[in-house]
Chains A and B, each alone.
Chain A
Amino acid sequence: MWIVSAFSIALTLIIASDLIMKSAPILTTQAAIELLTTSVWNPPRGEFGLYPFIVGTFVVTGLTLLLACPVCILTAVYLAEYAPRRVRGIVKPAVDVLAGIPSVIFGLWGVLFVVPLIRTYAALLLGIDITGYSVLAGAVVLAIMVSPILISISEEVIRAVPLQLREASVALGATNWQTTKHVVLRKSLPGVFAAVVLAFGRAFGETMAVLMVVGNVPQVPHSILDPAYPIPALIANEYGEMLSIPYYESALLFSALILLVVISVFNIIARIILGKLEVRSF
């Protein structure tokens, strides 16, 4: 059992060192900072500017959280503080079902529904002609994908707030919402923050669903209706094909390393917070 358990540690170290070793070749020719801040992506000519991809990933993820957080946190508060047992009995299993749906299906739904919707409304309201494959489409699809994790963890954290605190607040004459706002949410803020951070990690690394709706144009998006090209989509589309171009593989694995590092840092922060709160997590 000891050996099997050590497998987790070994695998973490192996993945990290493998990616570091594989991205070393390109880092010997160009400084990391240069790769991260230049915008030209032209592998055959040896130009591997990762800037558009990094911006794309962050913009899509940021917009996702902007869309998902208010709705999901309100839903979590509702489930934990307000909802009657019957309603909880419907919403909770629905959230679980949502959590289990494969990402291609989210992507397919994006292609069938979100993308045409954006195309139609962009033409209707803004009078512009776009395909609809955009940062916004990616963010809408991702927002629904990350909602189960946001809702379940936030709900759990809110539930963990001791009942006495609520009673004290209500005894002082506060309304339900005032209690929720000033007592419950304040107390559970670190945990909700951790849920958001975990959702960030999820959205940051999601591949298929994003790849299918985000347009995949290697440029820095200037508006949410522009296409983008996040790092996971870059790896999925370009890795495994043209390994004969020098440094190509190395550049792609360097981008994978960036994903790994960013997500791991965020996850560890979230886990530390959740661990302190002693909340059962996922």
Chain B
Amino acid sequence: MKRRELEERVARFLMLLSALLVLGSLFALLAIVVVKGVSALSISMITQTPAGGYYFGKGGGILNAIIGSIYLAGGATVLAFLISLPTALYLNEYAANSRIANAVRLCLDVLWGIPSIVYGAFAFTIMLYLSARASLLWGIITVTLFVFPIMTRAMDEAVKIVPQRLKEGAFALGSTRLETATRVVVRQAMPGILTAILLGFGRGIGDAASVLFTAGYTDSIPRSLFEPVATLPLAVFFQLTSPVPQVQQRAYASAIILLVLVLLASLASRISTRKLFRYVVS
């Protein structure tokens, strides 16, 4: 009798300890990055592009990377959405449980797992083939490839749980499949779809490995799709490798900016999801 009570307590203790360890590492991560970076954070960091001598510790900011990352992740999110939503609708409303749906899901699983560096290398082989140069356009394409499987899987889950009776109601009123899918299913699944979009945006803005070869890096804000573009993750990475202490400091500050953008995206997803649930039939 005593032994199993002891075991119960030990197990409980270990579990609590594990949960605290996970929470603690999140806290340590945020705390260390914020503490290290906050001193280098300034208004000019987010309002200016790198001035001459920036990489030796002179003035300027990383507006180029902030705008670049938003362009890149924004463009990729839009493109990925254009692939993801039709795919999710097709999988659930048109070809549910068919052989082709299974094949598509299998491929999505495989694509979901492919590391972003492999997407980067793959896109670069295509660029070499077309003798294209690193640019915003190619960055967007690469990030789209990397993000759309993540987005599609999430949307697939959201669309899958739309109740059958809603669709039956729409069909009974004489709607076609397309009308049912776009007017009933999409509206009902909207919170999940939005979460999927913001999830994709968060992944896109945070990934460095896929744009390492494909987007280039520049100190100016791109004015067309064919110019190279700087991104925040790479800004963190490059500044960190600098031997100049001020520049390293700015790497930490850039990391805070990136962190804030990602957390904002996740916050936006939480808030808007909650708001959208008003339009959902439960």
Partner of A12, one of B15, B94, B107, B266: B107
Tell me whether A207 and B117 are in contact (CB under 8 A): yes
Identify which of residues 116-141 in chain B touch chain A, using a CB-to-CB cut-off of 8 Å: 116-122, 124-126, 128
Instruction: For A280, list chain B residues within 8 Å (CB).
Output: 157
Nearest neighbor of B25 in chain A, beta-carbon distance = A144
A108 at the A/B interface (Cβ < 8 Å)? yes
A142 at the A/B interface (Cβ < 8 Å)? no
Instruction: For B17, list chain A residues within 8 Å (CB).
Output: 74
Task: Name which of A8, A98, A212, A252 has the most chain B CB atoms within 10 A of its CB.
Answer: A8
Identify which of residues 244-262 in chain B touch chain A, using a CB-to-CB cut-off of 8 Å: 251-252, 255, 258-259, 262
Given contact pairs A5-B90, A177-B12, A263-B114, A109 touches B32 in the complex (Cβ within 8 A):
yes
Tell me whether A260 and B15 are in contact (CB under 8 A): no
Given contact pairs A83-B19, A100-B262, A22 touches B125 in the complex (Cβ within 8 A):
yes
Given contacts A109-B28, A259-B118, 18 further A-B contacts (CB under 8 A): A1-B86, A72-B18, A79-B19, A101-B262, A102-B259, A104-B234, A105-B259, A108-B255, A144-B26, A176-B8, A177-B11, A178-B4, A207-B115, A208-B237, A236-B212, A252-B121, A264-B114, A282-B112
Please report B residues at the A interface, Cβ cutoff 8 Å. Answer: 4-5, 7-8, 11-12, 14-19, 21-23, 25-26, 28-29, 32-33, 36, 82-83, 86-87, 89-91, 94-95, 100, 103-104, 106-122, 124-126, 128, 145, 149, 152-154, 157, 199, 202-203, 205-209, 212-213, 233-234, 236-237, 240, 251-252, 255, 258-259, 262-263, 265-266
Please report A residues at the B interface, Cβ cutoff 8 Å. Answer: 1-2, 4-9, 11-12, 15, 18-19, 22, 70-72, 74-75, 77-79, 82-83, 87, 90-91, 94-98, 100-109, 111-113, 144, 147, 151, 175-178, 180-181, 198, 201, 204-208, 212, 232, 235-236, 239-240, 243, 252-253, 256, 259-260, 263-264, 266-268, 271, 280, 282
